[in-house]
Structure 1
Amino acid sequence: MKLLARYNRVNIAATILVLLVGGLCYYFILRFVLIHQLDKDLKIEEQEVKDYVQHNSSLPNAANYKDQKVVFEPAGSGNIKRKIYSVNLYDTTEDEQIQGRRLIFIIENAGKNYKVSITKSQQETEDLIQLIVLLTLAIVVLLLVVLFIINRFVLNKLWLPFNNTLQQLKQFNLSNKSAIKLEDSNINEFKELNSAVTTMSNSVIKDYDALKSFTENASHEIQTPLAVINSKLELLMQAENFSEIQMQYIQHIQEEISRLSKLNQSLLLLTKIDNQQFKDTEHVDIANIVAKHLNNYEELIAAKEITLTQNIDAACIVSMNKIMAEILVSNLITNAIKHNIKNGAITITSEMNRLTVSNTGTELKSNPDELFERFRKDKVNSESLGLGLSIVKKICEQYNYKAVYEYANGLHTIAIEF
């Protein structure tokens, strides 16, 4: 869920909750105030009746109006308590029951006690309450609509700098060597964010360039002494005064130097790919490259007694650097041979936009998601450099191809989707 949507939901939900609770409180407080005012009117009528009796020594005439009714009844001993309470009244004009307030008190005139009942209709008060509530609801609805519009349009506009920064971060690619270009904002938080992102990206690019330069320079510098050591070892092996054990030691040293040389060449190749030194593209026939490399590895395949099956589609033409295509196919086939079993099988399928290489082998002991990472290799085969599939992934990334691995029914399958 987006932050803005989450904010809108919380904001609108909190607003509705506050308005509902506030509206209920507002209704009951308003009703209490208006009824209290109605009770004050009843008390005023009470005082007028008392004043009339005091000045005229007689009871006023009973009254029966639409909104008010005054009744005088003999009270006898006069033990009736003064009180104000709500009553239900019948409205003959509307033919319905309505609410009312009634005041009862005792008054003495000419030595006799009379019960005075003053009743006032509550209808006007209720109508006024309904009118005020409806106006309040209309204002609340208008407020919610305005809040929705503000949240939908104004806040979206306010968040544009953040969305632009997020989009730039998603598109950021170290291999392009292009700094992140962020839009200026007059909001302090976004200014601080843009400043931090710019500083971080510049630092990352600088460190990445330094690392690539170091790797490339180190690979070049290491290659020469490795070649010299290997040459001297070959001359040393031609001598006749070594024992068999010494010759084995020298042979092991030569094998490790050869392995180190391959590692150095692979790192140098990865650095060249990162530096985009293979920019030239052309239409490459993957089928021809597969056939060429299978011919080169024919003896190695025969030595491991591997059964080879080919399903080659001659229409598999892709646009990429030819050297990159050669390395891609070579690493896939080499990987299938190296990690195969004796008397195993390799199946290579070439389609219009897909190259699939499958080989028999034991299930991976490591996490398959780490298969394309540098120096990641299965524990079963410790001789692997762990760079072959990393080079495959790097080539695919450069051309926006997709490399997919899966293991099923004893077969390791790597598919390249062009």
Structure 2
Amino acid sequence: MKLLYRLILRISLALLVILTGWAVFFYVAMINEVNDEVDDSLEDYSEAIIMRALAGEELPSVNNGSNNQYYLTPISEADAHSREQISYKDSMIYILEKAETEPARILTTIFKDANGHYHALTVSTPSIEKMDLKKAILEWIILLYVALLFMIILINAWLFYRNMRPLYVLLNWLDKYRIGHVNEPLQNDTSITEFRKLNEAVIRNAERNEQLFEQQKQFIGNASHEIQTPLAICRNRLEMMMEDESLSEPQLEELVKAHQTLEYITRLNKSLLLLTKIDNGQFVETSELSLNEVLKHYLTDYTEVYAYRNITLEVVEKGVFRIEMNESLATVLLTNLLKNAFVHNVDEGDIRIEITEQNVEFRNTAVDGALDSAHIFERFYQGNKKEGSTGLGLAIADSICRLQHLRLTYRYEEGAHCFLITKL
């Protein structure tokens, strides 16, 4: 999950709890305030009636035209002492003016007149308007709650992205960065100290990796070059020993095995040396070549070598693939792919080579299904281990293509391995 999404999720959960608590508290506070206002008006109404009753003045009409009503009822002293002096409740009352029943807020209070008689005064006011007010308050709270939640999330997301922009620039640069290639310099000016330090650390590590990569290439090249002579001497001595007629058959078999191992090491050494030269850009001489002609030059040799496998070879020329390229690299590229098509094939299988002006495709019968396209061009990767294979053929082909501005891709189609060289 991206950092931005994780931040939004956590902010949303935190705000959901905080704002929900705030909304509930605010709603309860507002409703209590509304009830207090209604209760205050009822108290004022009841006090006016009590004062008139105690003064012996004429009491107002039971309904004063505002839908407020009151009832004055004599009660016994015992009843007066058994009830609360003042109480509030919500109930349904019958409105004479409207001739219908409506919800109302009711206040009941007990008082004693000058003669010592107790009375119960009940005053009521309809609460329909209060219910409408509660509904309106609830709706506005929900609206403001949702709007506030989204606004806070959006503002936080925008601020996060704005402030984290140097990090995204750095990540984008790292995605494009390739060791051993010409990379664009990091352009990531920022006034934030942490990001400046991060940029400096990344640049230092990139420079260090480049140095190590160059040292590695130099070491492989030097080691491979120095190993060639001792390997040649060892092979010659083994060949001379194998010509000795006094050797027994078991001894000769052991020498043959040792010779085969040296042959494998020699091929591996040459491949590593070639890769180093390609990485170092030592093949600078180029000329205009027709890959059609280069391929035809080696087809006969490979057909004769692998004739015992009865593999059918078909070459389809739909155009001439011309390119400005080093001839040695072109030869290595095509022969590696051609050898790969023969070696990683089945007896009596098929090879089809199709050439156009923009593409060269090698298609051969697969042995055990598709290969791992994510790793097939890595050094020493071998999908199906073949005896004597160094695991560097496709890595060399891919390096040559990248050096010569070509693209080498792999796909598995209809039971066949397909390698496609394409002009960029």
TM-score tier (shorter): 0.7 to 0.9
Cα distance in 2 for residues equivalent to 1:309 and 1:94? 102
Q: 1:133 to 1:343 in 2, by over 3 A?
A: closer
Gaps of 5+ in 1: none
1:104 matched residue in structure 2: 108
Residue 223 of structure 1 pairs with residue 228 of structure 2 = yes
CA contact (8 A) 2:231 2:266 kept: yes
2:11 matched residue in structure 1: 11
Cα distance in 1 for residues equivalent to 2:324 and 2:341? 24
Q: 1:311 to 1:94 in 2, by over 3 A?
A: farther
Cα distance in 2 for residues equivalent to 1:140 and 1:95? 40
Cα distance in 2 for residues equivalent to 1:207 and 1:175? 10
CA contact (8 A) 1:349 1:356 kept: yes
In structure 2, what residue type is equivalent to 1:324? Answer: L
TM-score (norm 2): 0.79
**Residue identity (%):** 26
1:297 matched residue in structure 2: 302
CA contact (8 A) 2:406 2:422 kept: no
Of 329, 333, 341, 1:328 maps to 333
In structure 2, what residue type is equivalent to 1:75? Answer: P
Residue 213 of structure 1 pairs with residue 218 of structure 2 = yes
- Counting matched residue pairs gives 416
Residue 86 of structure 1 pairs with residue 85 of structure 2 = no
Q: Determine helix, strand or coil for the equivalent of 2:361.
A: strand
2:412 matched residue in structure 1: 406
Residue 275 of structure 1 pairs with residue 280 of structure 2 = yes
Deviation readout 1:225-245 (Å, 9 max, x if unpaired): 222333444555566665555
Cα distance in 1 for residues equivalent to 2:20 and 2:100? 30
In structure 2, what residue type is equivalent to 1:332? Answer: L
Superposition deviation, residue 299 in structure 1: 2.4
1:118 matched residue in structure 2: 123
Correspondences of 1:9-408 after superposition (within 5 Å): 10-12=10-12, 15=15, 18-47=18-47, 49-54=49-54, 56-57=55-56, 60-62=59-61, 64-65=63-64, 67=66, 69=68, 71-75=70-74, 77=76, 79=79, 81-82=83-84, 83-88=87-92, 99-109=103-113, 110=115, 112-122=117-127, 140=145, 143-144=148-149, 146-147=151-152, 150-151=155-156, 153-176=158-181, 178=183, 181=186, 183-236=188-241, 246-278=251-283, 283-318=288-323, 320-360=325-365, 362-363=367-368, 370-377=375-382, 381-398=386-403, 399=405, 401-406=407-412, 408=414
In structure 2, what residue type is equivalent to 1:100? Answer: A
TM-score (norm 1): 0.80
Q: Determine helix, strand or coil for the equivalent of 2:307.
A: helix
Q: 1:24 to 1:320 in 2, by over 3 A?
A: farther
Cα distance in 2 for residues equivalent to 1:47 and 1:361? 102
Superposition deviation, residue 250 in structure 1: 4.2
CA contact (8 A) 1:179 1:201 kept: no
Cα distance in 2 for residues equivalent to 1:106 and 1:247? 128
Superposition deviation, residue 340 in structure 1: 3.7
Cα distance in 1 for residues equivalent to 2:184 and 2:320? 40
Q: Determine helix, strand or coil for the equivalent of 2:353.
A: strand
In structure 2, what residue type is equivalent to 1:401? Answer: R
